[in-house]
Amino acid sequence: MRAIEHKGEHMKILLIKLGGSIVHELEASFFTSLRALQDEGFHLAIVHGGGPDIDEMLDTLQIEPDFQNGLRKTTKDVLSVVELVLSGKTNRTIVSMLKKHGLEAIGLHGSDAGILEGNYIDQSTLGEVGEITEVNSALLMHIMSLGLIPVLTPLAMSKDGQTLNVNADMAAGAVAKAMKAESCVFVTDVKGVLENGSLLEQLSAQEVEDLIQMEIICGGMIPKVNTALKTLETGIKHVRIVSGKENFFENGNWIGTTFVKKVSVG
């Protein structure tokens, strides 16, 4: 993947990924944490999903969803719904909530102005589903330099002008890597990995594997941590899982689970 370079001053960047299921459950404390991060000098960018909203619209239109290996198979008809919902409903909802809580944001279609470019993964199996090949990080950084939070739909444009549906986790990782983000933060309905009710604040890939084997990490947390580890492999220094229902950054401290390649000693 190639990033279009930004020539301006170095920015402290955080990429925040909002899952579609948490968008409608975000509490005021979540936005308080965003403002606290801005106060610490961080520039924020958001990539969001919209699975539940998309499924609701597909159900209304009586279009049966189809998933292959966790990726939504996207026919031309489904893509039309995905674009409509992500850009017309989910994205606008997030931008409105940010404004309501004193945060200035701009909603962007990922395929606008070459922000996200991509290729088909396997058109015969997955249809109009793609992976990111290029990110216009220069444009995103310019937008952030104006004091705005870019809110991106995970939709890319192919070289020949076809819109592609991109897994939001994969899009978030690609954007975070291209912008050399300090961290990629996955916002969920839980504050991180728990062991006997206690938050595990930092985990390495090996420790995650051990905890899965011990069934301390289980159920719906397994795909969350696997996504975090996969994003870590892109070269991001820190990947975090935090809650959208409470403060996750307060007084300069993170509240969540931070994933690192190796836990430092001493």
Instruction: Determine, yes or no, domain membership for 252.
Output: no
- Overall average pLDDT of the 53-74 stretch: 85
Domain containing 89 — which CATH number? 3.40.1160.10
Instruction: Determine, yes or no, domain membership for 255.
Output: no
State pLDDT tens for residues 11-49.
899 999 998 889 999 999 999 999 999 999 999 999 999
Beta bridge partner(s), residue 149: 105
The reported pLDDT for the residue numbered 263 is: 57
Q: Which residue has the higher pLDDT, 233 or 107?
A: 107
State pLDDT tens for residues 198-239.
999 999 989 999 999 999 998 888 888 988 888 888 888 889
Q: Which residue has the higher pLDDT, 265 or 33?
A: 33
* C-alpha 90 chain-centroid distance: 14
State pLDDT tens for residues 123-170.
988 999 999 999 999 999 999 999 999 999 999 999 999 999 999 999
Instruction: Determine, yes or no, domain membership for 221.
Output: no
**Neighbour-count burial for 228-238, b at 16+ CB within 10 Å, e otherwise:** bbebbeeebeb
Instruction: Determine, yes or no, domain membership for 63.
Output: yes
- Report phi then psi at 12, rounded to 5: -85, 110
- Overall average pLDDT of the 48-65 stretch: 91
Count of structural domains within the chain: 1
The reported pLDDT for the residue numbered 254 is: 95
Instruction: Determine, yes or no, domain membership for 230.
Output: no
Instruction: Determine, yes or no, domain membership for 263.
Output: no
User: CA 247 to CA 207: how far, in whole Å?
Assistant: 25
Q: Which residue has the higher pLDDT, 4 or 31?
A: 31
The reported pLDDT for the residue numbered 266 is: 44
pTM: 0.91
Which residues span the domain enclosing 47? 2-34+41-189
Instruction: Determine, yes or no, domain membership for 69.
Output: yes
